[in-house]
Amino acid sequence: MTFHEDASRIRKDNAPLNFSVLRRLSLNLLDRDKTVRGSVAMKRYRAGLDNNYLLQVIAAI
């Protein structure tokens, strides 16, 4: 429930499936990152504030 999926208003056509894939990908990337200790929610928050950390997480692909 890191992305508050229950409150999501995405319900039309293929959008729910597409966004579920994006959410799963981002959760896996944040979970694989071992440079910062903490919960996935805190890593997500930090990635939202720090562009360098976001690029570091994305570069792990």
Domain ranges of the chain: 5-58
Asked whether the beta carbons of 34 and 7 are under 8 A apart, the reply is: no
**Confidence category of residue 43, pLDDT binned at 50, 70, 90:** very high
11-29 pLDDT, tens per residue? Answer: 788 888 888 888 889 999 9
**Confidence category of residue 38, pLDDT binned at 50, 70, 90:** very high
pLDDT at 2 over 70: no
| Predicted local confidence at residue 1, as pLDDT | 65
Task: List b or e across 19-53, with b for residues whose CB sees 16 or more CB atoms inside 10 angstroms.
Answer: eeeeeeebeebbeebeeeeeeeeebbebbeeeeeb
